[in-house]
Amino acid sequence: MARTTLAQPARFFALLAMCTTLVGGACASDGKADKPRPEGWFSPRASVDTLRVLSLSDPESDLLPHGTAEGGMYGGIARTSALLKALRARRGVPTLGLSGGDMYMPAPELSVDSGGQNAVAAANNSLGIEASALGNHEFDLGESFLAGMVKAAQFTYLSSTIDVRGGALASLYVADPAAHSPWLADHKGHILPWGLACAGGDLTAGPDGKKACSGLTVGVVGATTEQLRRLSKISDDIAVPDDRAGVVARIQAATAQVTAQGARIVVLLSHMQNVRIDLELAKSLTGVDIIVSGGGDHRLADADDRLLPQHDPDPLCADHVDSCFPLIAQAQDGNPVLVVATDGQYRYLGQLVAGFDDKGVLTGFEANNSRPVPIDDTSVAELSAAPVADAAALELDVQNTLAPLMEPLAQSAHFLDGTREAVRNHETNLGNLSADAMLWAAQKAAPDINIPLAVRNGGGIRAPIGSVDKHSFERQGGAIRELDLRSAFRFDNPIVVAMTTHRGLRDTLEAALIEVGQTRGQFPQVSDSVRLTYDPQGLNQTHVVKDGRIEKVQCPGTHIVDLVVTLTSGAPVDIVREGKLLTPDAPIAVATLAYLAGGGDGYFPSGKPDVRALGETPPTEQSSVRDFVTAEAAADQWHDGARYAPVDPAQPTRLRPHGTAAAPPPACAPATP
C-alpha cells in the first residue's frame, strides 16, 4: 500500500480509516473491509502548519565511522553533522533537530581531549540540535561528570520525570521554566522538564520584554524511564517515579504547561527504552503530537526505505505494514500521534515532515520525506552534503588519538558476537568468553572463597569483536585489540563476589529474564559452570518499587525451569528443578559486576548480597578478558579461541529456552513492573 503524503490528504485519511486493529496503540491493517474511522480521530481541515523533525537517538559516544560489508563506510560524527546540516537546508520548512537521549556513554572516545574540550561534548555540539532527552547512560559516570557535560552543551537536556533535590546537578536544573523563560534557546547547558522551541523563525523581545517566535512555536517535553535507578548510577539527590503511571502523570503535567505557554504542537522526547512503551504512552496522553522514541535502538522503516547493508526493519514493523516510519498511534483524546525511532550509534537519522491544522491536530505526513536516513556515503552524495569542518577535524583527531590502541593482543578464530540483538536475547560466544574470564579472574583474586559461577548482563556488552567479509558477508574472527576490549566492555565495571543464597541467585536470574526476547539489557550471560533452562513464556518477576528502588520481590517469576551449577569440585548441584527451588537458603558465591551486585538492571532483587571486593585494584570487565586470553595463550590453551565458536541460538549450551515452567503460585500476578 502506498504511503500517505500531505499533498494527498484524502489518502492519509483513507489509510487511517483502514486501521481496523489497534496493536499496542498503533494502527495496523488486518486486510479486512474498511471500518468507519473513530470519531475525532482525524481533522478534516487542511494543513496550515508544517514541521520537520530531524531526530537521532543513542549516539553513545560512537564518534568514528565503520566499514560496511561491501567496503563502504557509515557512521561517524563527520557524516552525521554534514547530513543534519544538509537536511536543515532543504526547502523552507520549519525544522527542529532533536535527540531521544544517551548522547554519550563510557567509551574510548569519551576519554579523548580535543583542543582542550571533551571530544564527545564537542561532537554533540556539532550536531546543531535544539534539545535531547536525558537518557540513562548520561548518568553512568556519576552526576558530577554529567554536570560537566550538561554545562558544555550548546543545547538543552529535557526530562519531566526526574526531580533534582540537590547535588552536582542542582544549579543546572530548572524545575519551572515559565518562571524564568519558557524558551529552550535561553536554557542551553541546563536540564528542564519542558520548553518552547522556535522553528523556522527568530526569537524577538517585545516591549514587555517577553520573547515571541516569528516562526512556528513548538512545545518539547522530555521523559526518562522510571527504571533509571536500576539502569544507571544515580544518587538520592535524584527522584524518579515509582511506576509507569507516575511517568504518564508527569508527562501530562508538562504537556499542559507547555501548551499553556502557547504551543499548539507538542513533541515528546521519550527515553523509555522501548518503542512499544511509547505506543502505550501515546494511548494514555492528551496533547502530544509526535514522539521521538529513544533508548531501544528500534530500526523503524518501511519496506521501500533504504537501509544500511544487512539491515532489516525492526520486527515490530511486520505488524505495521501501512506505516512503520512513522508509526501511527491514537492518543487518549482520539487524535493521531506519530512515533519515530532510529537505530543508534550514528547509524541513522530520522526525518519526519508532518502537517497540522489550525488547532494543532495532525493532518498527515510527507511519505517521501519521512523516513530513516542512513548515515553513509550514499546519503551524503544524494543530499550533496558538504563537510562540516569542525566535525571532520574532530573525527580525525579522535582517530589519531586512539590509534595506539589498535595493536593486536591476541587472535580469535571466530567472530565474537557482541551485537545488541544477539547478546540481549540469547547466549553468545562473547558473552561466554566474558563470563568465563570474570570467573577465572575472581577465583584467581580470591582463592579463599569457593566461587563456582559468574553472571553478567548482556546489555553491558556494547560491540562485537571481528569483521564481516565484503564479498561473502561471512562473519570473521581476527585480531583482538585493546580498542576492541574498550569498545565491547565500555563500562569496565569492577568484578566482585556476591555472597548470596540459592534463592538470591534464582531471583537474580528471573530478574534477568524479564521481557526475555525483547532485547532487554538485563538478559544474562553466564560462565560454563551454569546450565539454565528457561521458559520464554513464563510470568515476569514483579517488584514493589519505591523511588526507583526494588523494595522486595512481589512475584518470583516463572521463567526458570531448571538451574544446575557445577561446583569447583566438579560436582553438579540442582538449584531449580522443574520450576521448584530446592534449597532456598543454601549459600553460594557469585562472581559478578559491582554494578549488578548493587542492584543494577534489577539484579539481586530479593535482598542486597554481602559483596566482597577483590583487592585494591580489582579485575574489571576489560582486564579479565585481556588477562584470561593472555594466560590461556601462554599455557598453549587459547588456540585462537577455538572453543569459543559461534553459538547457534537454536542449540545453545548454557542458556536453553525450552519447556514449560511450573504453574505460578496463586499470589503471582502476571503484571510487568
Residue 527 to residues 346, 510, 530, 567, Cα–Cα distance (Å): 32, 17, 6, 12
What confidence tens digit (pLDDT) does each residue in 230-263 have? 899 899 999 999 999 999 999 999 999 999 999 9
Q: Which pLDDT belongs to residue 662? A: 58
| Residue 492 grid cell | 569496565
Please tell me whether residues 314 and 424 are part of one structural domain.
no
Residue 244 lies in a domain: yes
Q: Quote the CA–CA distance of 264 and 266 in Å, as a whole number.
A: 7
CB count in 10 Å sphere of residue 473:
11
Q: Which pLDDT belongs to residue 664? A: 56
Helical axes 119-126 vs 77-89, angle rounded to 10°: 20
Please tell me whether residues 107 and 165 are part of one structural domain.
yes
Return the residue matching grid coordinates 550514499.
378
pLDDT at residue 669 greater than cutoff 90: no
Q: Which pLDDT belongs to residue 45? A: 58
| Average pLDDT of span 51-61 | 97
Instruction: Report the domain count for the chain.
Output: 2
Q: Which pLDDT belongs to residue 67? A: 83
CB count in 10 Å sphere of residue 440:
20
DSSP annotation of 376 reads B
Please tell me whether residues 146 and 62 are part of one structural domain.
yes
% the chain with pLDDT above 70: 90
Q: Which of 343, 359, 375 is the last residue of a domain?
A: 359
Please tell me whether residues 352 and 431 are part of one structural domain.
no
Q: Which pLDDT belongs to residue 668? A: 59
DSSP 87-101: HHHSTT--EEEEE-S
Q: Please report which helix (H) or strand (E) contains residue 655, including its range.
A: strand 655-657
Q: Please report which helix (H) or strand (E) contains residue 117, including its range.
A: strand 117-118
Please tell me whether residues 599 and 462 are part of one structural domain.
yes
Q: Please report which helix (H) or strand (E) contains residue 309, including its range.
A: none
Please tell me whether residues 421 and 281 are part of one structural domain.
no
What confidence tens digit (pLDDT) does each residue in 421-468 have? 999 999 999 999 999 999 999 999 999 999 999 999 999 999 999 987
Residue 370 lies in a domain: no
Helical axes 621-634 vs 429-445, angle rounded to 10°: 90
pLDDT at residue 16 greater than cutoff 70: no
What confidence tens digit (pLDDT) does each residue in 126-147 have? 999 999 999 999 999 999 999 9
CATH of the domain at 609: 3.90.780.10
SS3 (DSSP) at 163? strand
Q: Which pLDDT belongs to residue 5? A: 39
Q: In whole angstroms, what separates CA 665 from the centre of its chain?
A: 33
What rounded mean pLDDT belongs to the chain?
90
SS3 letters for 621-651?
Answer: HHHHHHHHHHHHHHCCCCHHHCCCCCCCCCC
Q: Which pLDDT belongs to residue 471? A: 66
Contact 579, 565 (CB under 8 A): no
- Which amino acid is residue 27, in one-letter code? C
What is the band of 112 on the pLDDT scale with cuts at 50, 70, 90?
very high
Contact 428, 456 (CB under 8 A): no
Please tell me whether residues 419 and 328 are part of one structural domain.
no
What confidence tens digit (pLDDT) does each residue in 170-194 have? 999 999 999 989 999 999 999 999 9
Q: Quote the CA–CA distance of 37 and 336 in Å, as a whole number.
A: 12
Residue 394 lies in a domain: no
Q: Which pLDDT belongs to residue 23? A: 29
Q: Which pLDDT belongs to residue 467? A: 86
Residue 490 lies in a domain: yes
Please tell me whether residues 120 and 249 are part of one structural domain.
yes
Q: Quote the CA–CA distance of 293 and 275 in Å, as a whole number.
A: 6
DSSP 573-637: EEEEETTEES-TT-EEEEEEEHHHHTTGGG-STTS--EEE---SS--BHHHHHHHHHHHHHHTT-
| Average pLDDT of span 263-274 | 96
- Which amino acid is residue 343, in one-letter code? D
Helical axes 275-284 vs 244-260, angle rounded to 10°: 60
Tell me the whole-structure pTM to 2 decimals: 0.86
Contact 246, 226 (CB under 8 A): yes
Please tell me whether residues 440 and 335 are part of one structural domain.
no
Q: Quote the CA–CA distance of 130 and 154 in Å, as a whole number.
A: 8
Residue 593 main-chain phi, psi, to 5 deg: -95, 145
What is the band of 210 on the pLDDT scale with cuts at 50, 70, 90?
confident
Q: Which of 339, 359, 379 is the last residue of a domain?
A: 359
What is the band of 119 on the pLDDT scale with cuts at 50, 70, 90?
very high
| Residue 159 grid cell | 526530562
User: 504 lies in which domain range?
Assistant: 407-657
The two counts, helices (H) then strands (E), for the chain are 15, 40
CATH of the domain at 168: 3.60.21.10
Q: Which pLDDT belongs to residue 207? A: 83
Residue 373 main-chain phi, psi, to 5 deg: -110, 110
Please tell me whether residues 347 and 459 are part of one structural domain.
no
Q: Which pLDDT belongs to residue 661? A: 57
- Residues, the chain: 673
CB count in 10 Å sphere of residue 432:
24
Residue of 655, 68, 673 whose CA lies nearest to 375: 68
- 67: Cβ–Cβ under 8 A, 6 or more apart, which residues? 73, 467, 470
Please tell me whether residues 181 and 50 are part of one structural domain.
yes
pLDDT at residue 648 greater than cutoff 90: yes
Q: Please report which helix (H) or strand (E) contains residue 521, including its range.
A: none
% the chain with pLDDT above 90: 82
Strands 156-158 and 131-133, by their bridges, are: parallel
**What is the b/e burial string over 349-374, where b = at least 16 CB atoms within 10 angstroms of the residue's CB?**
bbbbbbbbbeebbbbbbbbebbbbbb
Residue 23 lies in a domain: yes
Q: Which pLDDT belongs to residue 663? A: 57
Residue 671 lies in a domain: no
What confidence tens digit (pLDDT) does each residue in 155-168 have? 999 999 999 999 99
**ω into residue 36 within 30 of 0, thus cis?**
no
| Residue 94 grid cell | 520549519
What confidence tens digit (pLDDT) does each residue in 542-596 have? 988 888 888 889 889 999 999 999 999 999 999 999 999 999 999 999 999 999 9
Q: Which of 299, 326, 359 is the last residue of a domain?
A: 359
Residue 329 lies in a domain: yes
Please tell me whether residues 457 and 524 are part of one structural domain.
yes
pLDDT at residue 660 greater than cutoff 70: no
